[in-house]
Structure 1
């Protein structure tokens, strides 16, 4: 039997120039393993952007530590480095930076600040695989990095994640923790195969909105293996069997998709450039061109006046849009205090999460999307 995991590791190492790659059932599990290896524990603080997914603060809380949020820079939607140092205390242990939508910003500066205060750094590359920052692959600057292979990430294995280690001092702990992983069961792998089949044969422009909402409902109610279970977005208790291993079933799908990545990255970058040119011409908010060099555009963010209205228009015109991040800790909509999050304290992140819409960058129907934007240009900020 082919060793798909070994073969996938070989392909990933070609992009990241490292062999220190460890696979897990999901990217958030990889983050949890890194934090454990860094000995993050009760009483510690971990600094993260105030514009992220709830699965980032969750592992911090699972370990008894406290997430400390820093507002974002409106020009790149990554952590505002001018606010970073004032949030560092004697309890701070780790800083996590993020490639939001595949856009990397100020990673080297964040690492310099961390070294000054003797702190660990982690790069959240769940949006950024295949991209570069200052001629280095995303994930190269920090002590460790974690990546996602979910359905809608740079390349997909359905569900999945992995971590990389740049700080050799962490390897012993990583290996020790990694040996504790539970194996995915038969039903879990069968569930994945059914989802692969459904995505391959039923997902298209016509079914996109229905299947997206239906899949999220199933996932929320723990009826399918989804990006986030209902428990993860309503509670701060670590799910059972959270520390789960990656399977050959996932790796086979990942291997199939990573081979398509070079063409897909070129398509995303080309589409992103067209979006920027259109928005610039119409005096709208756009991704600055200095962020284009070697970045991977997983999604292209725009701001709209009324997101619900804009989504309704998109559904009627069969345009596939995304809603990352629809809250400062997506997709949580209430009881933010459970995660030590108070949205009003982070005005840029809060405003962005209320108005952001993601344009598809992997579409081959860019003219249709641009035509839709032109028709409803007054709805765009």
Structure 2
């Protein structure tokens, strides 16, 4: 047992030995980085998995979303300043592509029950210039798609699903009560993320999917226009799991050396950051948007092949948390019969959430999640640049003070989950 290695919710949590082997093989084969057959294989596998006609890969979820907005500007004639409705209690990776596309983010509050968009507030926020709705399946919990689709039909809104947290989540529509369909299939178009702490990970990566022929072809054209990221950026992503596994995690808590190594690697651009300083100010870094390079498609393909194992493990860990934290002061995620939750993170509520996160790290070597400590994360995002004003979404602002996330990923063992639960019981 390595006492310096933390129990962590982030830090490339999905990486297993086979993923490391792939990264090590790729790092010495630069001719495979940009072009190859893996991109096509990943897109075809994704189409089969979701049951959709078109799947186009990009180098991040936000690149995928930006590509969708760019394609819609052609197929649906979205003009500058058009309103795009989205929920608060999200990451700046969602409003940023809206801003980059010259559109106007319009924030809607969220529910306590599922952390997803509030249908009543949505109805109140729709304006004459509202053309698009982005519905987020937060933490892997599907939103109430029957209600959302009804509102979109009534108000003539283009529906986009944000499935960054929810690859593999399923929903049963009242119109088809015997059929569970995967999220991403309930809208005109959807996007997914393969970021370092998502359901599957290639460190960076994303996918846009649709069944609409016109939009599918527009997305293909946009993908070609974006081109590939440069080779150094691709190297940074391939090297990320290698560096974390061998140099950061083993000594993360030994005099803080692992964390120092991680910070220095980002300062000197050996590794890329999850969110750049430009994005925190509403600006677009030059490596977005781009198509997905072959090397990251190879990494994502390997992870996609393990998705059932990953999500079954998450659900098993989640059930353990449900059982062991029942009757405590922690408010646990609500269950819905018509929704299959993949539990990217097991999100609980407690009035001392921030203190719990702090003590877990500083006294127990446990890195719990802080999604989200502000209505638009990360915490140092410039809200005014996101066009968010305090008071717009009071429930999202309240939730940001009382939520914390427990890890469920494939590298969380039974003993890890027990340690987390034993620590949390002290706050009962």
TM over 0.5: yes
Q: 1:9 aligns with which of 27, 43, 47?
A: 43
Q: Offset at 1:75?
A: 0.5
What CA distance in whole angstroms lies between the structure 2 residues aligned with 1:296 and 1:66?
Answer: 31
Equivalent residue of 1:337, what SS? coil
Quote the residue 1:361 is aligned against: 408
Structure-2 change in CA distance of 1:371 and 1:199 (3 Å): closer
Q: 2:358 aligns with which of 296, 309, 312?
A: 312
Q: Offset at 1:252?
A: 1.2
Q: 1:263 aligns with which of 309, 312, 333?
A: 309
Q: Offset at 1:303?
A: 2.1
- 1:220 and 1:229 in contact (8 A); partners too: no
What CA distance in whole angstroms lies between the structure 2 residues aligned with 1:65 and 1:218?
Answer: 35
Structure-2 change in CA distance of 1:247 and 1:211 (3 Å): farther
What CA distance in whole angstroms lies between the structure 2 residues aligned with 1:16 and 1:64?
Answer: 30
Q: Offset at 1:261?
A: 1.6
Equivalent positions of 1:102-251 (< 5 A) are 102-134=140-172, 135-202=180-247, 204=249, 207=252, 215=262, 219=266, 224-233=271-280, 235-251=281-297
- 1:157 and 1:253 in contact (8 A); partners too: yes
What CA distance in whole angstroms lies between the structure 1 residues aligned with 2:190 and 2:47?
Answer: 13
Equivalent residue of 2:133, what SS? strand
1:72-125, Cα deviation, whole Å (9 max, x unpaired): 010000001111111111100100001100001212321221122211010000
- Please tell me whether residue 35 in structure 1 is matched to residue 69 in structure 2: yes
- 1:54 and 1:332 in contact (8 A); partners too: no
Alignment length (residue pairs): 379
Equivalent residue of 2:336, what SS? helix
What CA distance in whole angstroms lies between the structure 2 residues aligned with 1:112 and 1:220?
Answer: 47
Structure-2 change in CA distance of 1:207 and 1:34 (3 Å): same
Which range is displaced more, 343-352 or 137-146? 343-352
Which range is displaced more, 35-44 or 274-283? 274-283
Which range is displaced more, 260-269 or 175-184? 175-184
- 1:325 and 1:353 in contact (8 A); partners too: yes
What CA distance in whole angstroms lies between the structure 1 residues aligned with 2:400 and 2:221?
Answer: 38
What CA distance in whole angstroms lies between the structure 1 residues aligned with 2:116 and 2:264?
Answer: 29
What CA distance in whole angstroms lies between the structure 2 residues aligned with 1:213 and 1:101?
Answer: 29
Quote the residue 1:97 is aligned against: 135
Alignment root-mean-square deviation, CA: 2.4
- Please tell me whether residue 70 in structure 1 is matched to residue 111 in structure 2: no
Structure-2 change in CA distance of 1:104 and 1:290 (3 Å): same
- Please tell me whether residue 340 in structure 1 is matched to residue 378 in structure 2: no
Q: Offset at 1:247?
A: 0.7
Q: Which has the higher contact order (CA 8 A, sep 6+)?
A: 2
Structure-2 change in CA distance of 1:214 and 1:295 (3 Å): farther
Equivalent residue of 1:146, what SS? strand
Structure 1 residue runs of 5 or longer lacking an equivalent are none
